Chain A
Amino acid sequence: MAELNFDPELMQDFLTESGELLDQLDQDLVLLESTPEDLELLNRIFRALHTIKGSASFLALTNLVSIAHAAEGALNAARNRVFVVDRAAMDYLLSAVDVIKAQFANIRAGQELVLPDANLVARLTALGEGKGAGASHAGHDAPAKSAAAVRSGDSGDNAPAPGMPMPPAQPADSAGGLTEKPLELSSSKADLLEFLVEDVEQTLAQIESQIARLTSDPDRPAAGSAIAELGESLTKSAEFFDFEPMQRLAKCLVQLGEQAGTLQQSQIAGAVPDAQRVVSLLREQKGGLAQKKLVSRPIDDLVGKFSHLEDFPAAQANAPTSPTSSTTNAGSATSATTNEPRDAATNASVNQGSSGLQNAQNAAGNQAANSSQAAGVAQTAGSDQTIRVEVSRLEALLNLVGELVLQKNRVSAVARQVAANAGLAQNLREQASEVSSSLDRVTSDLQVAVMKTRMQPLEKLFGKYPRLIRDLARKLNKQINLEIEGANTEVDKSVIEELGDPLVHLMRNSADHGIEPPDVRRSKGKSEAGTIRLVASNAGGHVQILIIDDGKGIDPEFISRKAMEKGIVTQQQIAAMTDREKMGLIFAPGFSTAEQISDVSGRGVGMDVVKTNIEKLKGTIEIDSEVGKGTTMRVKIPLTVAILSAMMVGVGDEIYAVPLTSITEIVKPEPAQLASINRFPVMRLRNSVLPLLSAAELFGAELKAQALARAASTKATDTTEFKGADGKSIPVPEGEATPENPQPFAVVLVSGDKRVGLQVTRLIGQQEVVIKPLDRFLDKGGPVSGATVRDDGGVSLIVDVQRLFNIAADRSAGNSPAA
């Protein structure tokens, strides 16, 4: 036999495809644990394992096949209701998935596959055979099924169903030319023989009861099409096995069925006995097959009659034409009259399933099963609508779009100048602004489109959590329900990648430190099972992810005491903190609250790392907690990290970009609003006081008169308002910087519930900026997170809002002013 020689790419495909299936499996299995009766889910799980097994078998990954096969077997049994998936069964199934995953890791690493744990395989196999954990359910359905089989056997085998006309004498009336041959079949067909025999018997039984219905006028069309359909399937089976006589006889039934609707009562009366004869001949052949023999009789005459059914004279019952039919017609003389009051129940039990549907269609009026042809044709939904693209191509595309946005910005700037230049022809000026605005539109559509190609649903991350929580709960002996909402919320791929670890950490924290053990919960009057909700939603340019638990909550006093013990804060600082700020201390480096270090949440070194990681994504994290009631972690992440809308602000004669998503408003404070606390400037804004940071001081910009004059020569865009942090329109105040007041504007920035004002010289306008990372050594210079090219071709630094807040926090904590 030829060996398979596969392209190595096949293995890669296999790994990718199966990897996706495995991720889904984890998720589905955990879901299954709570809804073990969900057949659709069971089918999906079964299919996934089946696919993995099928492909693996081709790739000769026997060790993988064996475990997948065992798991598939167990699921198949669950699907057939042999047992109900309980916790123990689920443990085995999940372990099987783990083993499969481990084997995939081995394949990727180019290592040999290890033999799966024989014990696990044995247990799964036992489940598959109905002997496993939930074996009490075994056979629940089986008796019903076999009873059904017996019933259908009854109606067919030898004894006729109640009310059925007497079947004609068995064709085994000795002399009838019976011949027997040993059956010769290829192995693939021989394998199926036993199934065929069983199936033929069932089909014949059904045909028999349908034949009985033919004599009733209202039933006839339905019975006819049922017979045609059953006959058709019998024909196909016979054809497959090359049983020609069987095929010819089955065809007779098809012909009868197809014409039944149009035949007259009297013609039917003549045909019914022949049909019954056909059935009994078929049954005889089937009997032979069961003994691996091919039995046949001369059937030409009988078969011939069915091709001319319309010729059946009404009187035929009284005028036998051949020796074969004489016996049958004798029977029919009585059946024609006795048939009418039949036992309806017999028919009802047989006339079911798809043939029932067909009947309904055909009852309307006619003859063939063909009438429902149109049904399957007009379909729409094609499904293979996705292609895989290398991430690097998307990255390249996004970079190009970034460049395009920058060039577009420059074109807009030039077009504005042209449009404003009264010395140019009106026509030219109009065209310039027209071209510029359509370029603007197309570019932003393109940008959105490209960004969308990189968007992925959070489901990719969230999908892993049910398993995580389930395992944690078992390990910690807690009961935890995980509720996920908004898993279809999409964020940029790079965000998904970076968000994984922090979220896992937060979930672990909730499970480990938040949710109490069942006995504690009970004593507090809570339900024994704790709940962690993971809720994602879009909020303006952000995605908000909430991790809400109904556990013991975070006690701010406890946190601040711990923080003091560890020397993170001083008593004095604590005194000035709000509860929320105290809780925020868990994000301080080196803070750990777990009384015992557990292997679940680790040593608490994580929370500051979590915060850092989220901030790297230009996101924020906040805590809300009520002692005894639970904790909510609120993570906000921008949709994408590569392109952002920014407010361009002038500082001296330099221009900086401030991310719009951090700005809540821009004000021009009156002298009366300004003050200082602890030597640091602050601004009163309505009912609150916010720290003020001087941009010039932070960035070392020159604020002398010449600089201001130079700055004033570049023109601001005519933006008068823009959309800020919460998507609301924000008006831009008017005003000019003067040497006495070189920074008249305060850009109010927000992070969580904190705000600071950033004092700047000028407001220039809104721009899309593409973030270009800075080299590491430049990064040390000041609170900037990157650079971008402006629409006038110059370079601007992007203000790192988070660092501004850190500086403000340091100041209020009484540290020396940040450099």
Chain B
Amino acid sequence: MRILLIDDSKTMRNIQKSVLAQLGHTTVEEACDGQDALNKVGAFQPELILVDWNMPNMDGLTFVKNFRQTNKNTPLIMVTTESEKARVIEAIKAGVNNYVIKPFTPDLLSQRITETLAKRAA
């Protein structure tokens, strides 16, 4: 499965990549902010997107809003923190399909991914 990881921190991307690798997902593209991600979705055609909230240039929420204007279907999982939970609804309204709170374990992420994809398939 092609997964697009959007996070401004390279460390965070590597961490998530390594979690994804443990789950058997290795076709991963990275983007360092929302703008970068918008530039990359066309060519990469992700089947799942993990997006961070707080990023310079274009934050995760703005990315989701922009992305959803042209793509209604690709599942989006917002990666967020406990403190941002109150704002998750905003992301959901913008079209996020699920969210996961940092730090997550491979199990939790795996569960969220399965959950999200199952719903898409239904």
Question: In the complex the two chains form, is B54's CB within 8 Å of A10's CB?
Answer: no
Contact call A382/B36, Cβ cutoff below 8 A: yes
B32 touches A376 (CB 8 A): no
Q: Is the CB of B31 within 8 A of A384?
A: yes
Residue B88 CB within 8 A of the other chain = yes
- Known A10-B15, A17-B11, A195-B88; contact A376-B67, beta-carbon cutoff 8 A: yes
Indicate with 1 or 0, residue by residue over A1-32, a CB within 8 angstroms of chain B CB atoms: 11111110110011001100000000000000
CB closest residue in chain A, given B87: A195
Contacts of B115 in A (CB 8 A): 186
> Are A13 and B94 within 8 A (Cβ)?
no
Measured CA separation A2–B39 after assembly (Å): 34
The digit string for A58-89, where 1 denotes a CB below 8 A from any CB of B, is 11100000000000110010000000000000
A376 to B41, CA, bound (A): 12
B18–A10 touching, CB < 8 Å? yes
Nearest CB of A to B115, in Å: 8
B8, A2: Cβ atoms closer than 8 Å: no
By the criterion CB–CB under 8 Å, are B12 and A51 in contact? yes
Distance A54 CA – B9 CA, assembled complex (angstroms):
9
Q: Does B105 contact A (CB under 8 A)?
A: yes
Contacts A2-B106, A4-B106; is A76 near B83 (CB within 8 Å)? yes
- Chain B residue at smallest Cβ distance from A230: B93
Name the interface residues of A183-233: CB closer than 8 Å to any CB of B: 186, 188, 191-192, 195-196, 199, 233
B106 to chain A, nearest CB (A): 5
Note all chain B residues with C-beta closer than 8 A to A51: 8-9, 11-12, 54
Query: When the two chains form the complex, which single residue of A1, A13, A233, A379 contacts B11, counting CB atoms closer than 8 Å?
Result: A13
Residues of chain B contacted by A196 (CB below 8 angstroms): 89
Docked CA distance A4–B106 (Å)? 7
Which among B11, B12, B66, B86 is the interface contact of A195 at CB below 8 angstroms? B86
* Docked-complex contact A192 and B88, CB < 8 angstroms: yes
B19 interface residue, CB < 8 Å from A?
yes
Compute how far the CA of A440 lies from the CA of B35 in the bound complex, rounded to whole angstroms.
Answer: 42
Chain A residues near B70 (CB-CB < 8 A):
373, 376-377
Assess whether A192 is in contact with B89, with CB atoms less than 8 Å apart: yes
Q: Find the A residue at minimum CB distance from B95.
A: A236
Chain B residues whose CB sits within 8 angstroms of the CB of A572 once the complex forms: none
Q: Is A240 an interface residue (CB 8 A)?
A: yes
Given A4-B105, A199-B89, A236-B95, A376 contacting B69 (CB threshold 8 A): yes
Q: How far is the CA of A384 from the CA of B32 in the complex (A)?
A: 6
Between A and B, 11 residue pairs with Cβ closer than 8 Å are A3-B105, A4-B105, A10-B15, A55-B15, A73-B83, A76-B83, A188-B99, A191-B85, A372-B69, A376-B38, A379-B39
Residues of B within 8 A of A (CB): 8-12, 14-15, 18-19, 22, 30-33, 35-36, 38-39, 54-57, 66-67, 69-70, 81, 83, 85-86, 88-90, 92-103, 105-108, 112, 115
Told that A58-B12, A58-B103, A188-B101 touch, could you supply 18 new A-B pairs with CB distance under 8 A?
Answer: A6-B18, A7-B18, A10-B11, A47-B56, A54-B9, A54-B103, A188-B112, A192-B85, A199-B93, A233-B93, A234-B93, A237-B92, A240-B96, A240-B97, A373-B70, A376-B69, A383-B33, A384-B30
Chain A residues with CB under 8 Å of chain B are 1-7, 9-10, 13-14, 17-18, 44, 46-47, 50-51, 53-55, 57-60, 72-73, 76, 186, 188, 191-192, 195-196, 199, 233-234, 236-237, 240, 369-370, 372-373, 375-377, 379-384
